[in-house]
Structure 1
Amino acid sequence: MNVRIDDVDRKILGALQRDASQSLDEIAKEVGSSKTPVWNRIRKLKEAGVIGQQTVFLDAEALGFEACFFVLIRTSEHEADWQAKFLKALRDRAEVQEAHRLAGDIDYILKVRVKNARAYDAFYQALIGEVRVHNVTALLSMEEIKSTTMLPL
């Protein structure tokens, strides 16, 4: 569904991206509107699929997930049944925060968050035990410089 987004919608979306726990009164004040029109716009944006699932961000390191790996996967398998099995294996593992199918030399890249290298190895062993892959390269992130879900509205 295609929806037209105006400047007020952009301001509302910006406010929600910064802090979705704000009250309607706070958002309305920030965007220079009243509560009912803001509520109606948010409802319309949700119905159009512009606003998706609302959640909270947890601090991975505070919870003991100190290692972030980017996993590059090459495969010689491209059949539908292999792909379905691979996608299921990724969806079933909470360690996989992101997974992307790529164009170019690498077929897939995963962002995997685990407690330590030993936990990554357990993840890796389980993954290759379920699906056949041609080549796996794991890159350990030494420092997260920027991470955001905010879009440049």
Structure 2
Amino acid sequence: MTATTLDLIDRKIVSALMQDATQPIGRIADQVGLSQTPCWKRIQKLEAAGVLTGRVAIADPAKLGLGLTVFAGVEAPDHSPEWRAGFERALAAMPEVREVYRMAGIYDYLLQIIARDVGAFDEFYKRLTTVVKVKSCSSLFVLERLKATPGYPVDTTTR
């Protein structure tokens, strides 16, 4: 199942679940014009196909004592599969790392890191650079989050 094979009803179901995954199947079914059983079967197919990858609660990091968000640009010392595998293993073991992107441009990787404060980020940085060699790491500290949208824009208007 790919974006081109999702029909309008599938896209409406995905959009509804991204807005609120806790809503009852009956409400989603009403929104998309199905009865509950066919709607549930479509959700199961979307999960089996990997379109829906999980259902989570979204928390406010500041209210969890995680007041600092940092974006770190990392330059790799080399581009060998061995280095990349070690880097990926190191990041997988660090819960502060929320997202990782392999990039084209100035940085090889862009990391989103969440931490309690600057001191906690510094501890993370020391741990990262002890576990894996990096050519450089440049950090950008977030002053204010203006927008954070957990879902994605899904076309729910055209066939």
**TM-score, length basis structure 1:** 0.94
In structure 2, distance between residues paired with 1:7 and 1:36: 18
Q: Using the TM superposition, give the Cα deviation of residue 85 of structure 1 relative to its aligned residue in structure 2, in angstroms.
A: 1.1
The 5-angstrom pairing of residues 86-125 of structure 1 reads: 86-125=87-126
> What does the per-residue CA deviation read over 1:1-30, in whole Å, with 9 as the maximum and x for residues that have no partner?
447211111111111010011111111122
In structure 2, distance between residues paired with 1:103 and 1:95: 23
Name the % identity. 37
Query: 1:135 is matched with which residue?
Result: 136
Query: 1:47 is matched with which residue?
Result: 48
RMSD: 1.3
> What does the per-residue CA deviation read over 1:83-134, in whole Å, with 9 as the maximum and x for residues that have no partner?
1111111010000000111111211110000000000000000000111111
> What does the per-residue CA deviation read over 1:25-62, in whole Å, with 9 as the maximum and x for residues that have no partner?
11112222210110111111111111112111121000
Structure with larger RCO (C-alpha < 8 A, sep 6+): 2
Query: 1:32 is matched with which residue?
Result: 33
Q: Could you tell me which runs of 5 or more consecutive residues in structure 1 were left unpaired when the two chains were aligned.
A: none
Query: 1:4 is matched with which residue?
Result: 5
Query: 2:70 is matched with which residue?
Result: 69
SS of match in other structure, 1:112: strand
In structure 1, distance between residues paired with 2:81 and 2:41: 43
Query: 1:79 is matched with which residue?
Result: 80
Query: 1:56 is matched with which residue?
Result: 57
Q: Using the TM superposition, give the Cα deviation of residue 71 of structure 1 relative to its aligned residue in structure 2, in angstroms.
A: 0.4
